């Protein structure tokens, strides 16, 4: 399958122009602002990657165009699906019609330990299942009764969040009043979240609204017993923005603990409400998914004086740099421990790279993911000798694109809120060796004969964080690219150059 | 250190290593503030009791683990079954991301669909501009032959009028005036995905038929209904109709859409009902719906056009297939050929060979209304006893049909019908009145885990097993596939129960 390759930056510019040709004038103008090629930068190169490029020349975090097949989701997905859903000992009500909760049920792979349906509720779908009468007469009474029934049938649940679906904000329901009332009656934490799907332009506003709900309905309430009982220590940290997909947070926690740190709260994969409540007692917030949880870190800094820092646990280069950067905030013991942890895992890293790098060296990758991974996984690919041809965010903001300049070289194709059409055309022309994106993109790309990995769910694998996760990541990229199936797409009798079979010497 | 490059440990074994078990145990003790283990055990036991069941069944507001989706999903699925048709859902865009993901996760195939991406300003001013721009963009980028418009609940709540919006969009030149843009209002807060399927089918047919004059011919229309096994089933139904020499038209056929080859080309559209055929289907002598509960409004509309109609309940099993063939024969005058009789005989032969292993086995069945009906009926044909028959999207009329079905056979005596109930209800039912096997979809795996009831996946969606939907469950051949699934479950359980060497393996029989 010989195809044209659009290999260099010049080609990418003309490729963008070519792809935009298909649009009607109004849409073309709007889409042109989201597509670019990263430019050389005057800034000092990043200390870890040695890279400086300019990736923030295009627009982001603005409305998608109707009818173009955006890959984005909604605010509800950002709140229920991402931020709140993984909190395991609370019941999260999908408040409204049945669909939203049904389609998002158990799809994020937020691993947790607990007795599901008894003291943990992550992989369950609780809904008020709105009917026409609820739309006409309002759903507050039904919501109140729903919470009563949850408290009766799931007595060990430690609270309830109300995840608003589109109709709630349109019909004028007062879920905050219901939440206050139910909190008064039951004594349990009640969190109303105004994450109706029509709000904002993507999942992103849902993250922000969910962060604000943590602030208003957890932090700014009376201190719980769990908080009162906690004795803070000098090495207490929170991990913020790790949703424990396929066990990511566990493969991260083990490293932080080996360093001598206490992870008081892990937000929000495998988290309990107590881990959320106690977070303000920690010394430092370590934030992995900046996009979805920077808001609450900024708030904690302002209100409780807790510093925060971004880190990256994808691939050994970034892990080592992150461990050292984290340790710098603590005493020499922790700093020595960080070196010990890095040294301990170095043989594993060497083995993994020795085994997989020769099989992946020079392979090109195109990424299109959410709000963190389009940059955060880049160095992990680099550790395996793989190169990024293009990357983009579903719901990144300008500050994400700015940060991307520390990860990708100039001359990389950048696409924001890419449409199905654009992504297909880019892939067709660039023919990368691997595409990393989501379930909706997986099968079209594979039909084109290009290996694919889902980079939201880790394609049902993982963890990919930490040293243990890096081994799995490397193995997965290898099995995706080097599977024999990609060589079987053409029927042998159709290949024009096929001559008579010649016996091997 | 447990991980190695040589033998990479995946998540399941990795977190069973002592380092991780210890870490998680410490997390629990030091940070989680959970309930004491004894209390968790006590409540866990309580949830299995009759007392809990009564409280659970008395729920009035809360739904937990329902077995249904919302209307637009069914509308998208129905639309995708027409030639080069792009489903266009008017409303919030997150919904479309969900439908596409949901369908792709089941079929392991691309699922194309667009949204009009309405946001807060559209909530205030209405989504007319979104419709106008959206139709133009969809047409330009994806070159469909038809754009089938349905709605999310947002557009329904604010009251957007699709008919008027589409007319206005055409006036503004978004698409040509004669371009096919059928539509259906599909409020997510009414009914379920089967009703969305119905509304969209009616929308598409009335788009083609409303202004046309019917000239009765001899053809037969088939409406398959919402079916996760559509790839295998539609082809099997078509094969049987070909065997009979019937002139037929499938109205919405996703079998090629959800089964495109891997040969280097991504086909956004493939197969489906030709628009010309959909148009001329008005002239058919009759229409058969394979799933009554997926098509009430559509069939009423078709009958109103003067066609004979018949609605079945998912032709799976012997009698249901017999009825399907006899109905086709009666409506078309074509005889049922000996080749199909031979297939029937072979199926009966297989059932006779295996009857001892299935006689008296008890079942819980859940899913869409027609499927549950067919499955219960087939189970009884095999000498099995349906104990719990549950459809979250089943209503009173469905319940009555089910009760009549169960009353028609001695094997239905202990059968109970649970209309409108969910899978958390089912958990209580299985705990208090256990059965040998559970038939449903992938969500049933949580019931399998909690109650120990072996699960057989025969209902949409199936996310955690691959490719079953490529094989039919309808017709005699399909019944054979279903039979083998049930038998494999029985035999696997028998082997699992007798596999301890020197203890239970006296019954670990080589021949069964």
A77 is an active site residue: yes
Q: Which of B1, B2, B3 should one mutate to test binding to chain A, selecting the residue with the greatest count of A CBs within 10 A? A: B3
Count of positions (residues) in chain B: 512
Torsion B228-B231-B233-B238 (CA) sign: positive
The catalytic position among A194, A207, A291, A375 is A207
CA angle B8, B12, B14 (to 5 degrees): 50
A296-313 residue pLDDT tens: 999 999 999 999 999 999
Instruction: Tell whether the model's pLDDT for residue B235 goes beyond 60.
Output: yes
Cα B296 to chain centroid, rounded:
17
Q: Do B115 and A123 touch (CB under 8 A)?
A: no
- Residue A308 phi, psi dihedral angles, 5° rounding: -140, 150
DSSP-derived secondary structure letter, A46:
P
% of residues, chain B, pLDDT over 70: 100
* pLDDT for the residue numbered A371: 87
Does residue B461 have a cis peptide bond before it, meaning omega lies within 30 degrees of 0? yes
pLDDT band, very low/low/confident/very high, at A57 (cuts 50, 70, 90)? confident
Pairing of strands A387-391, A284-287: unpaired
User: What are the CA-CA distances from residue A301 to residues A205, A264, A267, A294, B98 (Å)?
Assistant: 21, 17, 16, 11, 36
Please provide the DSSP assignment of B394-445 as one string: --HHHHHHHHHHHHTSGGGTT-EEEET--HHHHHHHHHHS--SEEEE-GGGH
- Interface contact A268, partner B, CB < 8 A: no
* pLDDT for the residue numbered A502: 53
pLDDT band, very low/low/confident/very high, at A2 (cuts 50, 70, 90)? very low
A12-51 residue pLDDT tens: 999 999 999 999 999 999 999 999 999 999 999 999 999 9
pLDDT band, very low/low/confident/very high, at A1 (cuts 50, 70, 90)? very low
Q: How far apart are CA A396 and CA A346, in angstroms?
A: 33
Torsion B423-B427-B430-B433 (CA) sign: negative
Q: Cβ-count burial of A251 within 10 angstroms (0-12 exposed, 13-18 middle, 19+ buried)?
A: buried
* Nearest-by-CA chain A residue for B55: A153
Closest residue to A131, CB basis, from B43, B189, B261: B189
B343-373 residue pLDDT tens: 999 999 999 999 999 999 999 999 999 999 9
What order do you get walking across the sheet with B416-419 strand by strand? B416-419, B385-391, B362-366, B437-440, B455-457
- Please measure the distance between the N-terminal and C-terminal CA atoms of chain A and give it in whole angstroms: 27
- Measured between beta carbons, the chain B residues lying within 8 angstroms of A148 are 61
Instruction: Tell whether the model's pLDDT for residue A441 goes beyond 90.
Output: yes
CA angle A253, A256, A259 (to 5 degrees): 150
Q: Which of A69, A263, A428, A492 should one mutate to test binding to chain B, selecting the residue with the greatest count of B CBs within 10 A? A: A69
Does residue A463 have a cis peptide bond before it, meaning omega lies within 30 degrees of 0? yes
Closest residue to B154, CB basis, from A68, A105, A170: A170
Q: Which of B41, B47, B90, B93 should one mutate to test binding to chain A, selecting the residue with the greatest count of A CBs within 10 A? A: B93
Q: How far apart are CA A468 and CA B10, in angstroms?
A: 9
The CA dihedral of B36, B38, B42, B48, to the nearest 10 degrees, is: 100
Q: Closest Cα of chain B to A47: distance in Å?
A: 28
In terms of phi and psi (left: phi > 0; alpha: psi -120 to 50; beta: otherwise), the region of B40 is alpha
* pLDDT for the residue numbered B1: 78
H or E stretch covering B388: strand B385-391
Instruction: Tell whether the model's pLDDT for residue B112 goes beyond 70.
Output: yes
Q: Closest Cα of chain A to B107: distance in Å?
A: 10
Please provide the DSSP assignment of B90-136 as one string: ES-HHHHHHHHHHHHHHHSS----EE----HHHHHH-SHHHHHHHHH
Does residue A45 have a cis peptide bond before it, meaning omega lies within 30 degrees of 0? no
Q: Do B64 and A128 touch (CB under 8 A)?
A: no
Contact predicate B455/B440, CB 8 Å: yes
B132 is an active site residue: no
Instruction: Tell whether the model's pLDDT for residue A497 goes beyond 70.
Output: no
Q: How far apart are CA B68 and CA B410, in angstroms?
A: 30
pLDDT band, very low/low/confident/very high, at A216 (cuts 50, 70, 90)? very high
**270-309 in chain A: CB under 8 A from chain B:** 270, 272-275, 278
A452-477 residue pLDDT tens: 999 999 999 999 999 999 999 999 99
* Nearest-by-CA chain A residue for B28: A113
- Interface contact A27, partner B, CB < 8 A: yes
* pLDDT for the residue numbered B394: 98
Q: Closest Cα of chain B to A347: distance in Å?
A: 9
The catalytic position among A6, A55, A75, A77 is A77
Q: Do B61 and A145 touch (CB under 8 A)?
A: yes
Q: How far apart are CA B240 and CA B336, in angstroms?
A: 9
CA neighbor of B281 nearest in space, from B193, B342, B362, B215: B215
Contact predicate B366/B447, CB 8 Å: no
Task: Look up residue A286 and give its two tokens.
Answer: 């370590």
- Measured between beta carbons, the chain A residues lying within 8 angstroms of B424 are 117, 124
Q: How far apart are CA A112 and CA A270, in angstroms?
A: 4
Please provide the DSSP assignment of A443-499 as one string: HHHHHTT--EEESSSGGG----SHHHHHHHHHHHHHHHHT-GGGGGSS-GGG-TT--
Contact predicate A173/A142, CB 8 Å: no
The mean per-residue pLDDT over the stretch A317-334 comes to 98
Q: Do A265 and B31 touch (CB under 8 A)?
A: yes
* Nearest-by-CA chain A residue for B147: A67
The helix/strand/coil state of A99 is helix
- Measured between beta carbons, the chain B residues lying within 8 angstroms of A73 are 93-94, 97-98
B395-415 residue pLDDT tens: 999 999 999 999 999 999 999
Closest residue to A351, CB basis, from B4, B52, B113: B4
A266-279 residue pLDDT tens: 999 999 999 999 99
Q: What is the CB neighbour count within 10 angstroms for residue A116? A: 15
- Measured between beta carbons, the chain B residues lying within 8 angstroms of A247 are 11, 14-15
Q: How far apart are CA B275 and CA B257, in angstroms?
A: 15
CA neighbor of A64 nearest in space, from B197, B115, B222: B115
The mean per-residue pLDDT over the stretch A232-259 comes to 98
Which residue stretches of A361-419 are H helix?
373-376, 378-383, 398-404
The CA dihedral of A85, A91, A97, A101, to the nearest 10 degrees, is: 30
% of residues, chain A, pLDDT over 90: 95
Q: How far apart are CA B194 and CA A53, in angstroms?
A: 51
Q: Closest Cα of chain A to B329: distance in Å?
A: 40
Residue in the block written with tokens 């993250």: A207
CA angle B94, B96, A74 (to 5 degrees): 5
Q: How many CA atoms lie within 13 A of B76 on its CB side?
A: 29
CB pairs under 8 A between A and B: 344
Q: What is the CB neighbour count within 10 angstroms for residue B407? A: 11
Count of positions (residues) in chain A: 505
The mean per-residue pLDDT over the stretch B425-447 comes to 98
Closest residue to B66, CB basis, from A127, A143, A419: A127
Instruction: Tell whether the model's pLDDT for residue B255 goes beyond 90.
Output: yes
Task: Look up residue B427 and give its two tokens.
Answer: 């958990």
Torsion B115-B118-B123-B128 (CA) sign: negative
The mean per-residue pLDDT over the stretch A482-492 comes to 97
What residues contact B367, with CB distance under 8 A and at least 6 apart? B67, B375, B391, B439, B440, B441, B458, B459, B460
- Interface contact A100, partner B, CB < 8 A: yes
Q: At what angle do helices B475-497 and B318-332 cross, to 10 degrees?
A: 180
**173-202 in chain A: CB under 8 A from chain B:** 197-201
The catalytic position among B153, B175, B328, B417 is B153
Q: How far apart are CA A58 and CA A398, in angstroms?
A: 8
Please provide the DSSP assignment of B154-213 as one string: HHHHHT--HHHHHHHHHHTTSS-TTSB--B----TTSS-HHHHHHHHHHHHHHHHHTTSP
A375 is an active site residue: no
* pLDDT for the residue numbered A10: 78
Q: Which of B51, B98, B102, B126 should one mutate to test binding to chain A, selecting the residue with the greatest count of A CBs within 10 A? A: B98
Which residue stretches of A215-331 are H helix?
225-228, 248-258, 273-277, 290-304, 316-327
**28-67 in chain A: CB under 8 A from chain B:** 63-67
ipTM exceeds 0.95, yes or no:
yes
Q: Do B47 and A351 touch (CB under 8 A)?
A: no
**409-428 in chain A: CB under 8 A from chain B:** 419-421, 424
Q: Closest Cα of chain A to B13: distance in Å?
A: 12
Q: Do A146 and B62 touch (CB under 8 A)?
A: yes
B44-95 residue pLDDT tens: 999 999 999 999 999 999 999 999 999 999 999 999 999 999 999 999 999 9
* pLDDT for the residue numbered A291: 98
Instruction: Tell me the three-class secondary structure of A155-203, residue by residue.
Output: CCCCEEEEEECHHHHHHCCCHHHHHHHHHHHHCCEEEEECCCCCCCCCH
Q: Do A443 and B108 touch (CB under 8 A)?
A: yes
Q: Which of B37, B132, B137, B195 should one mutate to test binding to chain A, selecting the residue with the greatest count of A CBs within 10 A? A: B137
CA neighbor of A245 nearest in space, from A336, A72, A399, A376: A376
Q: Closest Cα of chain B to A92: distance in Å?
A: 11
Q: Closest Cα of chain A to B143: distance in Å?
A: 10
CA angle A340, A341, A345 (to 5 degrees): 115
What does pLDDT average to over chain A?
96
């Amino acid at each position: 399958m010989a195809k044209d390759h659009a290999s260099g930056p010049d080609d990418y510019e003309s490729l963008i122009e070519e792809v935009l040709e298909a649009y009607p004038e109004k849409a073309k103008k709007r889409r042109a602002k989201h597509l670019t090629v990263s430019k050389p930068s005057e800034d000092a190169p990043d200390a870890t990657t040695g890279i400086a490029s300019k990736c923030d020349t295009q627009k982001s975090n603005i409305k998608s165009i109707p009818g173009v097949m955006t890959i984005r989701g909604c605010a509800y997905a950002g709140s229920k699906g991402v931020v709140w859903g993984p909190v395991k000992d609370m019941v999260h009500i999908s408040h409204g019609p049945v669909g939203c909760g049904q389609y998002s049920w158990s799809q994020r792979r937020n691993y947790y330990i607990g007795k599901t349906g008894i003291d943990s509720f992550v992989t369950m779908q609780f809904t008020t299942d709105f009917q026409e009468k609820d739309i006409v007469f309002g759903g507050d009474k039904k919501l109140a009764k729903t919470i009563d029934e949850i408290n009766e049938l799931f007595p060990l649940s430690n609270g309830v969040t109300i995840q608003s679906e589109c109709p709630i904000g349109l019909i004028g329901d007062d879920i905050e009043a219901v939440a206050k009332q139910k909190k008064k009656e039951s004594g349990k934490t009640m969190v109303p979240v105004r994450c109706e799907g029509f709000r904002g332009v993507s999942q992103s506003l849902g993250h922000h609204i969910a962060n604000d709900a943590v602030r208003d309905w957890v932090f700014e309430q009376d201190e719980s017993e769990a908080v009162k009982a906690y004795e803070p220590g000098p090495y207490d940290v929170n991990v913020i923005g790790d949703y424990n997909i396929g066990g990511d947070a566990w493969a991260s926690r083990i490293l932080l603990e080996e360093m001598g740190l206490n992870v008081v709260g892990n937000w929000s994969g495998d988290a309990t409400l107590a881990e959320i409540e106690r977070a303000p007692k920690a010394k430092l917030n370590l934030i992995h998914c900046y996009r979805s949880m920077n808001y609450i870190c900024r708030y904690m800094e302002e209100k409780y004086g807790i510093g925060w820092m971004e880190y990256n646990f994808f691939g050994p280069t970034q892990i080592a740099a992150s461990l050292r950067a984290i340790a710098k905030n603590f005493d020499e013991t922790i700093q020595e421990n960080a070196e010990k942890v890095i040294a301990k895992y170095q043989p594993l890293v060497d083995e993994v790279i020795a085994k997989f790098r020769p099989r992946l060296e020079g392979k090109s990758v195109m990424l299109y993911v959410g709000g963190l991974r389009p940059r955060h996984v880049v160095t992990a690919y680099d550790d395996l000798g793989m190169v990024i041809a293009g990357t983009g965010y579903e719901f990144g903001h300008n500050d994400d694109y700015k940060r991307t300049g520390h990860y990708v070289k100039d001359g990389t194709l950048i696409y924001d809120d890419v449409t199905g059409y654009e992504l297909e055309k880019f892939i067709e022309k660039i023919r990368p060796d691997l595409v990393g994106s989501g379930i909706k993109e997986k099968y079209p790309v594979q039909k084109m004969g290009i290996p694919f990995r889902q980079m939201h769910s880790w394609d049902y694998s993982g963890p990919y964080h930490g040293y243990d996760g890096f081994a799995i990541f490397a193995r997965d990229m290898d099995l995706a690219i080097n599977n024999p199936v990609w060589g079987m797409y053409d029927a042998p009798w159709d290949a024009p150059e096929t001559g008579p079979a010649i016996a091997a010497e | 250190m447990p991980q190695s490059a040589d033998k990479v440990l995946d998540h399941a074994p990795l977190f069973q290593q002592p380092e991780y078990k210890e870490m998680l145990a410490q997390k629990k003790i030091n940070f989680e503030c959970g309930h004491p283990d004894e209390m968790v055990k006590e409540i866990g036991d309580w949830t299995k009791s009759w007392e809990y069941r009564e409280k659970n069944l008395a729920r009035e507001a809360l739904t937990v683990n329902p077995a249904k989706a919302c209307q637009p999903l069914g509308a998208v699925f129905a639309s995708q079954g027409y030639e080069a048709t792009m489903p266009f859902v008017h409303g919030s865009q997150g919904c479309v991301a969900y439908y596409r993901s949901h369908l792709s996760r089941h079929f392991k195939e691309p699922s194309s669909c667009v949204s009009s991406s309405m946001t807060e300003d559209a909530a205030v001013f209405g989504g007319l501009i979104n419709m106008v721009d959206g139709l133009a963009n969809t047409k330009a980028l994806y070159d469909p032959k038809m754009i089938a418009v349905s709605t999310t609940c947002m557009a329904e709540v604010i009251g957007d009028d699709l008919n008027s919006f589409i007319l206005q969009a055409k006036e503004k030149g978004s698409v040509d005036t004669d371009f096919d843009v059928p539509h259906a209002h599909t409020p997510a807060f009414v009914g379920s995905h089967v009703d969305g399927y119905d509304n969209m089918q009616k929308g598409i047919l009335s788009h083609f038929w409303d202004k046309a004059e019917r000239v009765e011919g001899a053809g037969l229309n088939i409406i398959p209904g919402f079916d996760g096994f559509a790839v295998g089933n539609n082809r099997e139904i078509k094969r049987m109709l070909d065997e009979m020499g019937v002139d037929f038209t499938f109205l919405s056929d996703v079998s090629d859409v959800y089964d495109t080859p891997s040969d280097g080309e991504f086909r956004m559209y493939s197969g489906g009902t030709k628009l010309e055929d959909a148009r001329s289907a008005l002239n058919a002598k009759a229409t058969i719906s394979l799933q009554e509960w997926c098509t009430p409004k559509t069939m009423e509309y078709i009958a109103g056009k003067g066609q004979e109609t018949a609605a079945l309940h998912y032709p799976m099993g012997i009698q249901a297939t017999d009825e399907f063939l006899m109905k086709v024969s009666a409506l078309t005058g074509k005889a049922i050929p000996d080749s199909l009789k031979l297939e029937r005989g072979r199926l009966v032969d297989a059932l006779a060979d295996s009857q001892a292993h299935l006689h008296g086995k008890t079942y819980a069945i859940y899913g869409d209304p027609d499927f549950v009906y067919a499955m219960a009926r087939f189970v009884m044909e095999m000498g099995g006893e349906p104990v719990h028959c549950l459809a979250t999207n089943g209503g009173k009329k469905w319940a009555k049909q089910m009760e009549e079905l169960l009353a028609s056979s001695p094997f239905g005596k202990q059968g109970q019908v649970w209309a409108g109930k969910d899978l958390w209800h089912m958990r209580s039912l299985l705990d208090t009145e256990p059965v040998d096997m559970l038939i449903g979809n992938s969500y049933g795996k949580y019931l399998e885990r909690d109650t120990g009831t072996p699960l057989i996946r025969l209902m949409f969606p199936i996310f955690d097993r691959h490719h079953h939907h490529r094989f039919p469950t309808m017709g005699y051949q399909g019944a054979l596939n279903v039979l083998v699934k049930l038998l494999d479950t029985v035999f696997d359980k028998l082997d699992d129960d007798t596999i301890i060497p020197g203890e239970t393996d006296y019954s670990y029989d080589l021949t069964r």
